[in-house]
Amino acid sequence: MKFARTLLIVGIFSVVLSGCSSDGLDDLREFVKNAYADKKPKVEPLPEIKMQETFIYNSANLADPFASFNLNPQGQKSASGPRPDPNRRKEPLEDYPLDSLKMVGTLMRGKQVWAVIQAPDGTVHRAQKGDHMGQNSGMISKITEEKIDLIELIQGTMGDWVEREANLTLVE
């Protein structure tokens, strides 16, 4: 018991003494304190603010930007070009974007060819040449064993309708 008490007193004494010792970084602290004491940092002056010229909008002299002739696209093509048929009944594959549909195979009977297409919800559809698919009024123009060729109608920048070729390839 006496030995344990002596050992405890020696341990406490050594811990107290180690707290009083130096960590050996006094010379480093002195260097950091004196190294840049006489140097002042150089700060660049702020740039001058340039005043902008004011513009007073006088609506009496300028055209109305919201007039009806300014809202319609200029040089719009006539209605004789390709246009989607608004009265046509939508087919099931037109509910999905073209990039979400997957071609999973083909079926053939004589000269008739069908494409087997899987929708994102997992349902499987059969499509043939002339059927529509995708959200851009895409009509199937050709079906091969590797891909389906479509012609889509998209609205151009001037409001006219433009035909665009697209395809859907077989997923392995």
Residue-wise pLDDT for 59-87, tens only, equals: 777 777 777 666 655 555 455 668 888 88
Q: End-to-end CA distance of the chain: give it in Å, rounded.
A: 82
Q: What share of the chain is helix, strand, coil (3-state, %, to 5)?
A: 25, 25, 50
The per-residue pLDDT for 63 is 75
Under CATH, what is the fold of the domain 91-169? SH3 type barrels. (2.30.30)
Ranges of H-type helices in 55-119: 68-71
Q: What whole-number distance in Å separates Cα of residue 28 and Cα of residue 20?
A: 19
Q: What whole-number distance in Å separates Cα of residue 66 and Cα of residue 121?
A: 44
- pTM score: 0.53
Q: What is the bridge-based pairing of β-strands 102-109 and 147-155?
A: unpaired
What is the per-residue pLDDT across 90-137, written as a single tens digit (0 to 9) for each?
A: 999 999 999 999 999 999 999 899 999 999 999 999 999 999 999 988
Which band of pLDDT confidence, cut at 50, 70 and 90, is reported for residue 144? very high
* Whether 161 contacts 155, CB under 8 Å: yes
The per-residue pLDDT for 124 is 94
* Residue owning tokens 């660049």: 44
Domain ranges for the chain, please list them. 91-169
148: nearest Cα among 123, 124, 165: 165
